[in-house]
Structure 1
Amino acid sequence: MHRAGHVGAALLTYVPFGFVLSAAEPALAILGGVGVVVLSRLPDIDFVLPGVEHRGATHTVGFLLVVTAVLAGVGFVISGTFGTGTTPGQSAVLGALIGATAVGSHLLADMLAPPGLPLLWPVSRAQFTVNVTHPRDPLANYGLLTFGVVLTVLVGYVAS
């Protein structure tokens, strides 16, 4: 998928979490949504890393777990920095949620198109795909973006 598709997939994946968070702390819900959108293309860092093939190591469950753990740690360390009054544990959970949702949504979106992803690498090189579209399909990319934005706005309206 392209940028639009990944942003849309990130929004769609984050909507239920954002809805629940908005009931307790709307600012955290917005922070989480921004974080997920900003990091939604993180697995594509393989385009600029020398020696790392696209849809390789950065498109795996292992990468998802590493990013989730790192962002949980960052959340723990910066707890309270934004004046939200969250505990270190709560901030760690938010960081983990942002990491898992951003990378997870990217992997899900990329699985819509061939050739698939080596999700279980290095344990297995098996490629996982549902093969329903092409990565460059504008209808799929902008459809995901439109649906993600519309659903986010609707849920935000209902939650407010």
Structure 2
Amino acid sequence: MIAAVSALVVAAAAAAHGEGSSGLPQLNPANFAPQLFWLAVSFVILYLILSRSTLPRIGEVLEERRDRVQRDLDAAERFKGETDSALAAYEKALADARQKASSMAKDVRDRLAADTEAERNRVESELAAKISEAEARIAATKSKALASVDDIAAETATAVVGKLLGEDVSPAEVKNALQ
């Protein structure tokens, strides 16, 4: 429309200067009607070609692109959901593994403490038995030694008296003298 108005202005100016036959034919006002007719015909033909073939293809490409973007967004959302569920499963498995490891460590610690306590009790009972056995042997040895002390003292005294006096003294006499 602006082109048509500018063409009219140029044609009017050319007609005013007397340039009728020379110059550009499209600016000749006598040629405006056929030019406008062919402009309308070419516009209708171009519009029909574009609306029937080119614009539907462009629309299909745009629709396909929109569908592809939507599919990609849906796939991304699905993958995000799968990733979230996998992450939740991983965190749950990790928490379960930590709990299991903690319970296993506690069980091992408790079992080792019980084994250690049982071993300590066994060793203490063995030591107590050995101590009581040793005390019984010591008491037996002591009583035997104390019983033998009189005999040894009597023999020693007999030997000493015999050496000092030069006489033989009987062990019964020495025992009587010691008591």
Interval of TM-score (by shorter of Structure 1 and Structure 2): under 0.3
Which protein has the larger Cα radius of gyration, Structure 1 or Structure 2?
2
TM-score, structure 1 normalization: 0.18
